[in-house]
Structure 1
Amino acid sequence: MFALTFAAVTLAGGGRLLQDPGTLWHTLAGERIFAHGFPREDWLSFTFGGRPWIAHQWLGECLMAALHRLGGLDALVVATAGGIALLLAALFARLVASGVSALWALLVVALTVVASAHHFHVRPHMLSMFAFAWLYARLADVDAGRRGLGSLWPVPIVFLAWVNAHGAVVGGLATLALFALAWLGTWAAGARSPIRSRREAVGVCALAVASVATIPVTPYGLDTARAWFAILASPGLPRFIVEHASLARTGSWQVLALVALYAAALAGASRTTLRASTLVPLAWLVLAFDRIRHAPFFAIAAAIALAELLPNARWVEALARRGFRVRSAPRAPPGTRLAFGSVGAIAAAVAAVAITGTAAGRSPVLARLDPGRWPVELVPALVEAEREAPAGAPILNDMPFGAFIAYEAPGLRVFVDDRWELYGDEFMLGYVRADAAWLDEWVARSGVSLALVQNGSRLQGYLERDGRWTATATSAAGALYRRTELARTR
């Protein structure tokens, strides 16, 4: 399962994993940390250059930069593909070990991919998925009695790394809190609970407190948490950034296939299987309807819950009589063998692409930026424009191209990228509207004479109507413009 998934995602998904503009600026942020230490102000844009900004995902960004130094974009693709393969293989192994037949385990894993794949990108968000899967699986084991409460001792350590890697740690802390409250509630009510004594109750509370206490343990202290909540509190972000929009607005209805299977298993569950690990996915389902960004966390939680629910669902016997065998004999989980074997394979693959990339002059072999998404054909013209312009020259650009420009032509300073917490709602909404007077003010203020825009965008429409801009190079994804001195009267 791991080997086949690893090969498929690496070979067929190299371009798809590089669809998110954050991939490039996260890598650049890591490089900035290696070269100059932890940034506290923006250095990529001319619009907000010098304004306060922190690398609140610094650990993930440093990991990305380290991989990039080893093997360029190829190493980033291989490592991400390997992580995805390990996650899916672990879910499959868990389902089979719990007594779910291999065919049904494949079905659950496939539905998990369908519900999550739109967030499979090279970025720190993937680290949150991996950390969440580990956390939920460990909590589910304790919830079912397969592990004792003592096995939760690594949880604060995981949170310490997670706090420094990605803001979705807030969801991980909330999940831990839900489990802790459920266990404390059932213990207090005299029902079945992993907590069996007051001492264990105090231990669970201490675990939760220790995990929450990791929040300020970052190079930026509590400013890291402030950055997370600034993103969550933004009213404009869900309107214009697809991954933060609601399920209904994005139309990502493929999630409902997994919802249907989970709901059917829940409806057929016995009372003994209705516990925290099988019910907490409902909270993530609600969150997924609010923001599609949460769908992968619902999918992971639901897949782990289905390992508990499917073998004991009341309708399993009825399906078996009709030839649809859901249940099989439980097997010993692979555990550390899967983890160490997979990590070794990923490391070997990264080393291989690093050696291959060095031999090929760092030319990417597996990682291909999609020319329909990125203006890769314009790189020579962009680099030439950078060479002719003074250091730090401004360039007008569409938001998805900001990190692309900074990656390919670091001597230029961009107009905007997708760091919403830096630019804020007012500026970003101004960019989205692309009002001529608003853009004229920025052009006059900065003296910008270059522009790289998406084909058909509002910003391109502004350039075409303005009369001071001429397209000097075009591609399937966008066009490079230069500003002339003459302007037509509007």
Structure 2
Amino acid sequence: MHSRMKASGRICLAASCLAFCGLVVLFSHHTLSDLDIWFHWRAGQDILAGEFPRTNHYSFSEPDRPWTNHEWLFQVLVAGIGRAAQGQDPAPSPEKVAEAWNALRTFLALILALVILRPVVFPAQSGRGSPGSGAWLVAVMLAGLGTLWTRLTLRPELVSSILLVLVLDDLEDYLRRGNGSRPWWDPRGAGTRIPLWTCLWAQFHGFAALAPVLVLAAGILNPLQRRIDGRSRPGRGRGLVLVGGATLVALLLTPGGIQGFLYPLQAAGQFGSDRVDLRDTISELVPLFSSPNSLHATLGWYLAALGGGLVWLLATWPRVPLLRAVLFCLAAWAALMTQRSLGMFGLAFMILWRSGLPEGSRLLGRLRASPLSVRGTPVAAAGAAVCLGAAVLASVPLVSDGFYLGEGVARRFGSGLTPAQQPVAAMEVLAGRPSDRLFANIDAAGFVLGNTDSRVFVDGRTEAYSDRTWSRYLAVKQAGPSGLRELAAAGPGAVCLALAGGSFKPLARDLLADGSWRLVAADAGGILWYEGGEPGHQDEPGMLRAAGRKALTDAGAETRPARRADLAVAAAGLFQLAGDDGGRLEALRRAVEARGDHPLALHNLGNALMERLEFRQAGPLFEAAVAANPRLAGSALNAGVCRLQLEEHERAAEWFERALDIDGESFQAWANLAAARLALQDEDGAVAALERALAIRPGEERLRSRLEQLRRR
């Protein structure tokens, strides 16, 4: 009987782990939207051809700037997989290569899941455990996927996550048992494996610098941990010094040598610069709660995981290993500072809860001894049921793309390229006629680098360019006469813009109106211009309309509704640049028909109707956009503007307040809230709103005059 119960408990634990792995696979099986992968593809091909880049020769802005390639082995892996996907095809499509990379990403994500679950499946290596406690721990660890999913992309960070867990597990194993009787060169010893993992890690990513930091932290915390454990734990002081020294040596064993060793410090030093703060340039570097329009559910999962982790720490203190507790707290702080660290926080949350196997077993033991006489098998079955149920519930919005739409991200479930993100038409032109001086925005630069021999102004490598170059990039991005002057000063022979993000549309309009640039290619993913306008050259609005019609044709052939809507939204943008309002409206209506919960389609259609003063029709569209993605501050603002124009002042004020709940620094929301409060005869509320608006924009004299009038009443 006991053996049957034990076997059934293991089956329940296996079911929980399968649910966890299945959900990881679903989260990792998405379209290729990462902007850097194409740069890795080109750099990896150069390395395979025998050229190891040591300067920034991919750029014409700073071609001689030294560059430490700290991700070379990842680039070789990406290039090798890409070449295998190409086969004998002389001109493989990016779509074909992307499918192979998507498979690689899913494979790496599955390895990460197995590494995370290893102590749960094999509790003898991590302390006393049971199938019942293991099944419930897996259920709790599922919450970590609520933030980890953001970093399940094909980047070196994914490999870093795997190696971080391996290093941490071996470090804790070394603190418990040392190397045993094994000699120092035997890789079966935990202390020996740590430098080996570090050496491998350093070839993939500069985050390998975390390894000696972890060893140092363990050395600092171990005396306190021994005191908490009643000095049952060995000191390991001398051993930790040797292991830490070996990890430092391992960091030097890269093609970058000492420069590779110093790279993490150099990269960290780029942030907080007096000249340009890259957190205002690249969205993933923005503080977690300071970026509207995305990650609504993820923010909730972050808060839930943070609260759950802190409760667990307090409830089990001091039995939780100090190193895991410190790692969790630091990861929570890092995620708060930058969205890029959300994945690390999710990983730290899971690592923290993995320490709960002995706690869970003790709890089950007390329940068995209690009058309730709770058996382990029902507990394990309940944990497995929770895991399977959570996986099923999460899979529905994932597979249907509802989750990604609601989170405001471009990725879509399935394989291939993310729709309307890559300038394929521009790439095809540049492949036959590369530009040695191509200004491409960050959204387009990597794709162009990976598929042509062009050199760009900047790409997504933040550490590869000086503050001055990034400042010039931002000046061009601002468009207008000053932006065009800065662009001319850079001296590019071509300009390629991916327009999905929207921030470069003003520059696109300026280039279309400037006679010194000639439109040569356009599609749903972006637009390409060559320098040198020609009298009577081709009809540019006609080219844009043709590109818009092709995007609509491609949308009609797309089988998945969300991707169909993505292409229709991109077509609407092309029609708008061409000045074709009718085509724009038709495309946006087709987008909303394809997917009625597509936030961007709803918002853009609302904008088009609001421009025609059709406020009664536009308002519900903005409200539906906020319902689909509750982080859309702009949609909430516009919903309030529509209500204000319809003289529904109370509802307008509610929408403005909702916009401010998302983005409290919105000048337009505060100014409009003041107007709504004034219409409701709430002069105190109007004064308070005007004061906040003027604190954001002190130079608004009209509002300042209005505020003074109200104060004099």
- TM-score interval for Structure 1 and Structure 2 normalised by the shorter chain: 0.7 to 0.9
Structure 2 distance, partners of 1:78, 1:154, is 28
Distance 1:276 1:457, change over 3 A: closer
Within the candidate set 460, 466, 490, 1:418 is matched to: 460
Distance 1:278 1:437, change over 3 A: closer
TM superposition shift of 1:160: 1.2
Q: Secondary structure of the equivalent of 1:44?
A: coil
TM superposition shift of 1:259: 1.8
Determine if contact 1:143/1:277 at 8 Å carries over to the other structure. no
Structure 2 distance, partners of 1:329, 1:4, is 18
Structure 2 distance, partners of 1:133, 1:27, is 27
Q: Secondary structure of the equivalent of 2:438?
A: strand
Within the candidate set 105, 119, 125, 2:157 is matched to: 125
* Letter paired with 1:271: P
Structure 2 distance, partners of 1:7, 1:89, is 11
Distance 1:307 1:114, change over 3 A: same
Aligned-pair Cα RMSD in Å: 3.7
The match for 1:231 is 267
Which is worse superposed, 394-403 or 424-433? 424-433
Determine if contact 1:397/1:452 at 8 Å carries over to the other structure. yes
Determine if contact 1:101/1:328 at 8 Å carries over to the other structure. no
Q: Is 1:432 aligned to 2:446, yes or no? A: no
Structure 1 distance, partners of 2:498, 2:341, is 30
Structure 2 distance, partners of 1:14, 1:294, is 21
* Letter paired with 2:450: Y
TM superposition shift of 1:273: 3.7
- Structure 1 unmatched runs, 5+: 332-365
Structure 2 distance, partners of 1:225, 1:417, is 23
* Letter paired with 1:84: A
Structure 2 distance, partners of 1:95, 1:118, is 24
Larger Rg: 2
The match for 2:583 is none
Structure 2 distance, partners of 1:192, 1:245, is 44
Determine if contact 1:156/1:211 at 8 Å carries over to the other structure. yes
The match for 2:498 is 453
Determine if contact 1:26/1:64 at 8 Å carries over to the other structure. yes
**Deviations for 1:377-411, whole angstroms, at most 9, x for unmatched residues?**
x2xx5323442x3x543322111210101122x13
Distance 1:77 1:209, change over 3 A: same
Within the candidate set 388, 411, 422, 1:374 is matched to: 422
The match for 1:399 is 442
Q: Secondary structure of the equivalent of 1:83?
A: helix
TM superposition shift of 1:78: 1.8
The within-5 A match list for 1:72-471 is 72-95=97-120, 97=123, 98-99=129-130, 101=133, 103-143=135-175, 150-186=189-225, 191-192=230-231, 194-196=233-235, 200-234=236-270, 235=272, 236-250=277-291, 252-253=298-299, 254-309=301-356, 311-312=358-359, 367-376=415-424, 378=425, 381-387=426-432, 389=433, 391-408=434-451, 410-433=452-475, 434-435=477-478, 436-437=481-482, 439-455=484-500, 457-466=502-511, 467-468=514-515, 469-471=517-519
TM superposition shift of 1:224: 1.6
* Letter paired with 1:136: L
TM superposition shift of 1:315: 11
* Letter paired with 2:163: A
Distance 1:430 1:444, change over 3 A: closer
TM superposition shift of 1:190: 9.3
Q: Secondary structure of the equivalent of 1:46?
A: coil
Structure 1 distance, partners of 2:71, 2:316, is 40
TM superposition shift of 1:10: 6.0
* Letter paired with 2:507: Y
Which is worse superposed, 165-174 or 431-440? 431-440
* Letter paired with 2:160: S
The match for 2:647 is none
Determine if contact 1:46/1:414 at 8 Å carries over to the other structure. yes
TM-score w.r.t. the length of structure 1 is 0.78
Structure 1 distance, partners of 2:505, 2:77, is 36
* Letter paired with 2:488: V
Structure 1 distance, partners of 2:508, 2:108, is 42
Structure 2 distance, partners of 1:170, 1:59, is 16
Distance 1:175 1:446, change over 3 A: same
TM superposition shift of 1:121: 1.1
Distance 1:446 1:271, change over 3 A: closer
Distance 1:240 1:107, change over 3 A: farther
Structure 2 distance, partners of 1:470, 1:279, is 57
Structure 1 distance, partners of 2:320, 2:489, is 66
TM superposition shift of 1:169: 1.6
**Deviations for 1:193-245, whole angstroms, at most 9, x for unmatched residues?**
6424xxx4212211111112222222122212343222211222333223333
Structure 1 distance, partners of 2:254, 2:450, is 26
Structure 2 distance, partners of 1:385, 1:28, is 15
TM-score w.r.t. the length of structure 2 is 0.55
* Letter paired with 2:423: P
Distance 1:190 1:80, change over 3 A: closer
Which is worse superposed, 288-297 or 152-161? 288-297
* Letter paired with 2:499: Q
Which is worse superposed, 473-482 or 415-424? 473-482
The within-5 A match list for 1:469-488 is 469-485=517-533
TM superposition shift of 1:326: 12
Structure 1 distance, partners of 2:269, 2:103, is 34
Higher RCO (C-alpha 8 Å, min separation 6): 1
Q: Secondary structure of the equivalent of 2:356?
A: helix
Structure 2 distance, partners of 1:95, 1:36, is 44
Structure 2 distance, partners of 1:385, 1:161, is 37
Between Structure 1 and Structure 2, the one with more helix by share is: 2
Determine if contact 1:399/1:418 at 8 Å carries over to the other structure. yes
- Structure 2 unmatched runs, 5+: 1-14, 86-96, 124-128, 182-188, 381-413, 536-713
* Letter paired with 1:32: D
Determine if contact 1:143/1:193 at 8 Å carries over to the other structure. no
TM superposition shift of 1:456: 6.3
**Deviations for 1:325-364, whole angstroms, at most 9, x for unmatched residues?**
9987999xxxxxxxxxxxxxxxxxxxxxxxxxxxxxxxxx
* Letter paired with 1:30: G
**Deviations for 1:137-188, whole angstroms, at most 9, x for unmatched residues?**
2233445669869522110111112122211122333222211221245558
TM superposition shift of 1:417: 0.9
TM superposition shift of 1:115: 1.5
* Letter paired with 1:91: I
TM superposition shift of 1:41: 1.4
Count of residues in correspondence between the two structures: 442
Determine if contact 2:267/2:463 at 8 Å carries over to the other structure. yes
The match for 2:34 is 20
**Deviations for 1:403-438, whole angstroms, at most 9, x for unmatched residues?**
101122x13222321011112233223323424435
Distance 1:108 1:424, change over 3 A: farther
TM superposition shift of 1:277: 3.5
Which is worse superposed, 203-212 or 286-295? 286-295
* Letter paired with 2:115: A
Structure 2 distance, partners of 1:12, 1:299, is 14
TM superposition shift of 1:442: 3.9
Structure 2 distance, partners of 1:5, 1:314, is 21
TM superposition shift of 1:284: 2.5
**Deviations for 1:12-61, whole angstroms, at most 9, x for unmatched residues?**
74444x22211111121111111133211123222223432231211222
* Letter paired with 2:457: F
Distance 1:314 1:208, change over 3 A: same
Structure 1 distance, partners of 2:419, 2:354, is 41
Which is worse superposed, 84-93 or 160-169? 84-93
Structure 1 distance, partners of 2:232, 2:327, is 15
Structure 1 distance, partners of 2:167, 2:279, is 27
Structure 2 distance, partners of 1:46, 1:103, is 55
The match for 1:339 is none
